[in-house]
Structure 1
Amino acid sequence: MTHPRFLSFSRNGRHGYGLAVDGGVVDLSARHGATWPTLREVIEAGRLVQLAEEAKTLKPDFALDDIRFEIPIPSPEKIICVGVNFPDRNEEYKDGQAAPSNPSLFIRFPRSFTGNGQPLIRPPESPQLDYEGEIVIVIGKGGRRIAEADAFSHIAALSLCNEGTIRDWVRHAKFNVTQGKNFDNTGSIGPWLIPFTDAAQLDDIELKTRVNGEVRQIDRTSRMIFSFRKIINYISTFTTLVPGDVIVTGTPTGAGARFDPPIWLKPGDVVEVEADGLGILKNTIADEVL
């Protein structure tokens, strides 16, 4: 089954959203932007599936090559990321500790991400830019203290993330990883926003990351330490989830930091994150222009 592929874009100085179809992009924002300015408002209104149905009869407004991909939800209230969520990833720490009983969480800002096809930016402060391929869930129905059994009814859509990290900056302080996770344009989200309609889209799908064509990370979501249901349940215990909130759910083993010696991303590298049914998120690497 092929699911609708929503995207956010910029074109000729205008930001919008649309649906990728054969031959190009149906510009939904040109038709509905006055009511729903971004995909976040479309999700809040519960209209993703309806807009996809309407677009089936429409011809593309422009070619896919004519747009610049932006992150699917341009202004989420929250971007919450889960760390250490695959068994082999936990073992990488070599601290003798069993898998944690609760998820490790941190926050990222929208400005730290860019869209599909755009370069991830290596800052002058450090050469240690690393990749982390992950699956993204986007909240559709808000809530607090959401039961695991009800969690999937709160998901509107799925996407992919390269949760790029400046490794030495996650150790700049005793307590947190915030700095190394939030350099501008070091990560990416996209390319698509795929409506979530079936547990089979998440429960046991393959997630992989390639660098210059070489598979560096590969695992299946059925092996996650904390399931998607548990993640939603846990996060919603302490904060109210709202439509458009983005949750980045953890990366498999195989990031560049774990090689001996480490293999950092460098200008010209190409990183691809792929998962069953969610497409391929592809970015190059470039140095920051000062």
Structure 2
Amino acid sequence: MHSPTPGDVLKALGEVGGVRFTREPASHLQGAALITFKAPRDEDISRYGWIHIGGAGPDSILNALQGCEGRPILTRTIGAMGEQMGEYVLAYALTWLQDTAKREGFQARSDWQKEASLPRYLFDQDVAIIGMGAIGSGVAKMLTPLARSVTGYSRSGRNTEGFGACRRLAEFEGADIVIATLPATRQTDSLLSDPFFGRMNGGLFLNIGRGSVVEEGALQRALGTGKVDRAVLDVFRMEPLPKEHWAWTHPRVAVTPHVSGVTRPVDIAAAFKVKLPLFLEGRLTNEVDREAGYGVR
């Protein structure tokens, strides 16, 4: 088992009949499975029959498996990720709409500024979610009862449950709040660039998917022209974010250290236990499209 918190995951797994858990390399063992976030460097992970990815994003494992045919079966952990990210988005959206920083500034000066402190409301806002996978759907579930509209966008625009409307990304025309939940693939690399941000009209942009999907220079330009009023960035192409990066000190950017969705050991254990009987019976199927580079369920 390779994980940032292997002890916590083992504790959450507890006793599972007929299964031995180890933190040592086990790819040489017949019928071995691996639970991990990233590919370990001390063994050939292509020799496992099954890799259960601790998080929702499969990009690290797929990169390690490039050129490998067939095995292993890949599954992943979703757990409460959609709900977590929905709460993250909700917190920053309300902070923006209520302009809490301005109010705190008035308070610090003992300055009663009622007109300048008036809020905007989420029920008046149109929300666009870029990416309609498990994470995007979870965020949509959180925001749909509160926002005026929630529209999902993907390359295909295929109808997906939980969204008020589903459209192709090519049809994106901006929204008050725009949330990127895209995975890291060859097709999504720098997908959100000048043409994309040029369709916005001063709204809030949040990236909670993968940092590589945003062309950072384009976002910086959009902030400069007012096409984007504020950006909340939880993920970056390079992490940890270098101290000299412009986003740290930009007055209209909030930087968070990849915490919008934190995989809980209990979710990893629960997902693994559900899939384990299927693996032992030879009925487990892939939850990751290795060619496309993202989870299919």
- The answer to whether TM tops 0.5 is no
TM, length-normalised to structure 1:
0.25
TM, length-normalised to structure 2:
0.25
Q: Considering fraction of residues, name the structure with more helix.
A: 2
Q: Considering fraction of residues, name the structure with more strand.
A: 1
Task: Specify the structure having the higher radius of gyration (Cα).
Answer: 2
